[in-house]
Structure 1
């Protein structure tokens, strides 16, 4: 994998993706909003603490440690919104097919 220089759009997208994954992981572990809010503030502080990194090697090390922490904290049963694929309401009331379900002349 090629190294991405800091302060570029590609790096911003990588960091934003890691931040969103961190927030989703925190939400999976705490379904109560007040606890989740405190965790989001802590996550934001951790990301802001590394905002100044301009050395590509340090940046890659910080990203690798963040990915490792996300893998460590991955929830075994993450929250899935009900209408999304894998949710409890996904395709609950799908419309009936227009063609015959069983082929043949009835």
Structure 2
């Protein structure tokens, strides 16, 4: 192999490894959406890992590309329709809330409550 073909081979192989890594991470995160309990998730994650490990020995670049395309098609077919989104992440219910205003409001309420308690204690006639 010449230097150019070796570089092209290594670049293509690196791109494939990246696509495989991304596909595995997406599938693993989506498995967590389907599995309600952790013990179910651990079994499904183990099965998913076995599927990826079973094809680890394949060296032909064209075969690997076909397998990646088939894996991505399967992932898109079985992707969860309503995935869990962390509330403070983009797309979550608490994303871009301004908590500083809420914190300031809470401090004002606490100060007013303390003043009300002070004045109510001293406003009653002593017996």
TM-score by length of 1: 0.77
Distance, in Å, in 2 between the alignment partners of 1:4 and 1:94 is 51
More helix by share: 2
Distance, in Å, in 1 between the alignment partners of 2:9 and 2:19 is 9
- Do the aligned partners of 1:5 and 1:56 also contact (CA within 8 Å) in 2? no
Give the number of equivalent residue pairs: 94
TM-score by length of 2: 0.65
- Do the aligned partners of 2:89 and 2:95 also contact (CA within 8 Å) in 1? yes
Runs of 4+ in structure 1 deviating by more than 6 angstroms, as ranges, are none
* Larger Rg belongs to: 2
Q: Could you tell me which residue of structure 2 aligns to residue 82 of structure 1?
A: 87
Is 1:20 matched up with 2:25? yes
What CA RMSD, in Å, does the superposition of the two structures yield over aligned residues? 2.3
Q: Which has the higher contact order (CA 8 A, sep 6+)?
A: 1
* Partner residue of 1:71 out of 56, 72, 76: 76
Show structure 2 runs of 5+ residues with no match.
1-7, 102-127
Show structure 1 runs of 5+ residues with no match.
97-106
* Range with greater deviation from structure 2 (5-14 or 73-82): 5-14
**Pair 1:5–1:58, CA change in 2 (3 A):** farther
